[in-house]
């Protein structure tokens, strides 16, 4: 049955972080959320902010673009005021998407696991995992009626070629989501992750040896896998942002063509 493209997220106010390029998962989520009736805000920071402001114009409706560095306490503290600038005083959020990750490709990825320096590892864990807690904490005062926090992971239950310390950071992200689900549950805030298969985003292209990962899906994903199509992942995220899963939290939903369930 076809989705009613005017009802899934009607009336929802959603913040989508980490929208950098129109091939990014965050962009796909923002686009599908708008198609489903949501009011969307997107964010980025630093030099990427100008790129995000240009990319925003390619969405069905140009959303407000907020400057937000999730490692900067002052940015996090100012977030409610920035949201209020666009949605009105006392504005609330119904959903937050964590589409943020970073690991220095020169020191942490592409077969450099044994040599990864702690300073770079610490940065990867802070940006890719701790930031989920930081972002949820900053948004919590605006989610007065409960809501949904959804993050993006890449299955951290196994060791992957080339992924190295980012795999460790994703494992930390997955654990962080479970603890957030525990602690935010009394506020009726659900916390879930979507584990997508490899997608040819700007971030993925920066991973040395990422092609080796991509090739695994060619023969082992029973449903097949289009590495250029972010919409299946966006649909899963938006379903978790909606009211369709009112009693689901601490979950990881795989959107990978079934790859994760297959053996050798």
Q: Which two tokens stand for residue 261?
A: 């369930």
Q: Count of CB atoms within 10 A of residue 136's CB?
A: 21
Total length of the chain: 264
Of 219, 226, 102, nearest to 165 by C-alpha is 102
For 250, which DSSP code? S
Q: Which two tokens stand for residue 55?
A: 């990319």
Helix spans in the chain (H):
25-35, 48-56, 73-87, 118-125, 131-139, 164-184, 202-205, 210-220, 231-241
**In angstroms, rounded to a whole number, what is the distance separating the alpha carbons of residues 30 and 61?**
10
**In angstroms, rounded to a whole number, what is the distance separating the alpha carbons of residues 16 and 223?**
28
Positions marked catalytic: 163, 170
For 185, which DSSP code? G
């Amino acid at each position: 049955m076809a989705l009613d493209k005017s009802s899934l997220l009607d009336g929802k106010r959603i913040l989508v972080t980490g929208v950098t390029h129109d091939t990014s998962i965050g962009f796909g989520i923002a686009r599908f959320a708008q198609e489903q009736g949501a009011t969307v805000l997107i964010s980025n920071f630093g030099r990427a902010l100008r790129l995000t402001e240009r990319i925003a114009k390619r969405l069905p409706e140009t959303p407000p673009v907020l400057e937000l560095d999730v490692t900067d306490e002052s940015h996090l503290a100012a977030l409610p005021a920035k949201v209020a600038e666009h949605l009105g005083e006392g504005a609330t959020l119904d959903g937050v998407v964590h589409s943020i990750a970073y690991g220095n490709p020169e020191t942490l990825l592409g077969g450099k696991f044994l040599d990864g320096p702690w300073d770079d590892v610490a940065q990867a864990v802070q940006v890719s995992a701790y930031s989920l807690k930081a972002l949820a904490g900053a948004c919590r005062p605006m989610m007065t009626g409960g809501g949904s926090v959804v993050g993006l992971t890449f299955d951290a239950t196994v060791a992957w070629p080339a992924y190295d310390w980012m795999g460790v950071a994703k494992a930390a992200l997955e654990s962080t989501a479970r603890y957030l689900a525990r602690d935010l549950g009394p506020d009726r805030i659900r916390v879930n992750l979507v584990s997508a298969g490899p997608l040819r985003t700007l971030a993925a292209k920066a991973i040395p040896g990422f092609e080796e990962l991509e090739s695994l899906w060619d023969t082992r994903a029973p449903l097949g896998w289009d590495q250029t199509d972010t919409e299946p992942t966006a649909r899963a995220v938006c379903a978790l942002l909606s009211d369709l899963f009112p009693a689901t939290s601490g979950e990881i939903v795989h959107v990978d063509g079934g790859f994760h369930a297959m053996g050798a």
